[in-house]
């Protein structure tokens, strides 16, 4: 069995009888009131993840805004918790903006960035006062038209591609990638914007990487960004906001790798401090905030041996867990026993990619409960009903008490849209 990562031990640990607890509550107690599959949210871990990031960037740079990226996990309850923690948000659609609004965020606390924003949504976002990071020259032109028509002075930002060649495959997006503008396009946009009395470029944004467990890529990209800002500064352009995007690995994984978030902030801010002026800093994390605050409770439904492999088919499907992320999940039995064997943990679906984790050392019988870690990011938000799987409830642990914050999906929910 893989050891519980040191960074997560405070939230996930075994008692002296080998019974697993999440945030002080025995897993067995949770499954007494909620059948599996169930998702559990540790509110303490979530708030601590947010606080750890905010504090360390403040320490390094002074004031900083953390704008949680709603696409990572858009559950309303979660957004409410982040709002009361002092977060701002990055939204990618009118629906995300509405969800954030319902959780208490004002439009002025929202950053809108989408490569495919419709003109009508652009008008609404401007009217409401969201800050828009444009993703193309075409979007810039539409924004200028909207501002002109509304006779409003609109501040806006631009998403730029910074792709240091040395980073190679560590970049999710290269200069040929679909999102943002090249530096040349930004130079062109600056010329255009300087002629308009209705729009003003005040921000720059870049998001090129994901799941980084050490800070090298963030440091190199920020260096390129700073070089570009210096160039703009020489031609008289001083921006108010620098948004360095997200891309930080799950907190327990980066701490395990020996690079706590303070190391990322030190390297990023070290570069930013070389600027001849001090723009406001925005950080736009998703995964770091939510990934390890969520746990999946799964029941072993069937055990099977195939070609000397032990397969455990559980009720927790990859309709909730992105198959792509299997490398990130860890699986622990709710009760420790003396025995252990190598097992492949799967979901219940007749679907080749329904894999949770392969080659885990643990022992479980049919009917036993397993706990899956690191399931908060890009999972529930991307979930589906493949093979008729219903989405599980989400139970939050709040000051030592359990509270269902999202109920289990039913067949009726699925049928609701059929006319
Ligand atoms: C524009 C933008 N900002 C921030 C994020 C959050 O990224 P991460 O979860 O890697 O921190 C994303 C995720 O795709 C994004 O598209």
> Which domain CATH number covers 210?
3.20.20.10
| Residues 236 and 335 reside in one and the same domain | no
In a domain, 183, yes or no: yes
Q: How far is the CA of 208 from the centre of ligand 1 (A)?
A: 9
Average pLDDT, the chain: 95
12-21 pLDDT, tens digit each: 999 999 999 9
Residue 210 lies in a domain: yes
Predicted local distance difference test score (pLDDT) of residue 328: 87
From 88, 204, 207, the mutation candidate for ligand 1 (largest count of ligand atoms within 8 A of CB) is: 207
Identify the domain boundary among 285, 300, 315. Answer: 285
Lining ligand 1 with CB less than 6 A are 69, 71-72, 90, 113, 207, 210, 245-248, 284-288, 377
Q: Please, what is the end-to-end C-alpha distance for the chain in angstroms?
A: 49
Cα of 210 from ligand 1 centre, angstroms: 7
Task: Look at the pTM and tell me if it is higher than 0.95.
Answer: yes
Asked if residue 373 and residue 226 are part of one domain, the reply reads no
Whole-number Å distance between alpha carbons of 104 and 383:
25
Provide the pLDDT for residue 326.
62
Q: Give 279's DSSP letter.
A: P
Same domain, 137 and 251: yes
The whole-number pLDDT of residue 309 equals 92
Report CA(133)–ligand 1 centroid distance (Å).
13
Residue 188 lies in a domain: yes
Does residue 302 share a domain with residue 177?
no
Task: Return the ligand 1 atom nearest residue 285 CA.
Answer: 11
pLDDT tens column, 128-166: 999 999 999 999 999 999 999 999 999 999 999 998 888
Q: Residue 31 pLDDT > 60, yes or no?
A: yes
> Which pLDDT value is given to residue 166?
87
Last residue of one domain, picked from the residues 285, 311, 343: 285
Pairing of strands 369-373, 20-22: unpaired
Count of the separate structural domains present in the chain = 2
Say which CATH number the domain at 407 has: 2.40.37.10
CA 151 to ligand 1 centroid distance, Å: 32
> Helices 261-272 & 216-234, crossing angle to 10 degrees?
20
128 and 268 belong to one structural domain: yes
pLDDT at 2 > cutoff 70: no
CA atoms of 227 and 372, how far apart (whole Å): 43
pLDDT band at 176 (very low <50, low <70, confident <90, very high): confident
pLDDT of residue 324: 63
- Mean pLDDT across the stretch 37-47? 98
pLDDT, average across residues 50-74: 97
Whether residue 324 sits in one domain with residue 272 = no
Q: Which of 14-18, 325-329, 352-356, 387-391 has the lowest mean pLDDT?
A: 325-329
User: pLDDT tens across 98-138, in order?
Assistant: 999 999 999 999 999 999 999 999 999 999 999 999 999 99
Q: Nearest-5° angle of CA 268, CA 269, CA 271? A: 70
Model pLDDT for residues 235-271, shown as the tens digit of each residue: 999 999 999 999 999 999 999 999 999 999 999 999 9
pLDDT for residue 322:
78
Tell me which residue range forms the domain holding 131: 113-285
| Closest C-alpha to ligand 1, atom 3 | 245
Distance 284 CA to ligand 1 centre (A): 7
Q: Where does a domain end: 267, 285, 303?
A: 285
């Amino acid at each position: 069995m893989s050891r519980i990562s040191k960074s997560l031990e405070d939230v996930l640990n075994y008692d002296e009888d080998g019974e697993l607890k999440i945030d002080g509550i025995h897993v067995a107690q949770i499954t007494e009131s909620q059948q599996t599959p169930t998702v559990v949210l540790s509110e303490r871990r979530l708030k601590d993840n947010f606080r750890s990031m905010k504090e360390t960037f403040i320490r390094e740079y002074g004031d900083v805004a953390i704008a949680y990226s709603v696409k990572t996990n858009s559950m309303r309850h979660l957004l409410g918790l982040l709002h009361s923690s002092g977060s701002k948000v990055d939204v990618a659609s009118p629906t995300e903006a509405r969800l954030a609004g319902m959780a208490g965020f004002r439009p002025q606390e929202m950053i809108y960035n989408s490569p495919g924003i419709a003109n009508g949504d652009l008008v609404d976002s401007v009217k409401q006062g969201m800050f828009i990071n444009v993703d193309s020259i075409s979007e810039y032109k539409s924004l200028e038209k909207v501002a002109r028509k509304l006779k409003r002075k609109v501040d806006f930002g631009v998403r730029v591609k910074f792709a240091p060649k040395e980073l190679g495959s560590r970049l999710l997006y290269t200069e040929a990638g679909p999102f943002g503008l090249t530096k040349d396009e930004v130079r062109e946009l600056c010329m255009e914007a300087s002629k308009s009395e209705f729009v003003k470029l005040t921000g720059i944004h870049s998001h090129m990487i994901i799941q980084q467990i050490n800070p090298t890529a963030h440091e190199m990209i920020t260096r390129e960004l700073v070089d570009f800002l210096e160039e703009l500064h020489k031609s008289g352009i001083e921006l108010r906001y620098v948004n360095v995007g997200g891309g930080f690995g799950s907190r327990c994984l980066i701490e395990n790798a020996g690079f706590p978030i303070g190391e990322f902030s030190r390297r990023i801010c070290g570069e930013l401090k070389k600027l001849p002026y001090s723009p406001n800093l925005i950080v736009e994390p998703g995964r770091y905030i939510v990934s390890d605050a969520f746990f999946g409770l799964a029941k072993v439904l069937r055990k099977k041996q195939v070609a000397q492999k032990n397969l455990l088919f559980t009720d927790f499907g990859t309709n909730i867990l992105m198959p792509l992320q299997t490398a990130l999940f860890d699986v622990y039995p709710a009760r420790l026993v003396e025995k252990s064997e190598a097992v492949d943990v799967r979901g219940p679906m007749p679907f080749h990619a329904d894999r949770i984790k392969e080659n885990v050392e643990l022992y479980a019988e049919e009917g036993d409960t397993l706990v899956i870690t690191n399931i908060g990011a890009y999972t529930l938000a991307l979930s589906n009903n493949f093979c008729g799987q219903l989405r599980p409830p989400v139970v939050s642990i709040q000051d030592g008490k359990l509270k269902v914050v999202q109920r289990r999906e039913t067949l009726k929910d699925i049928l609701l849209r059929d006319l």
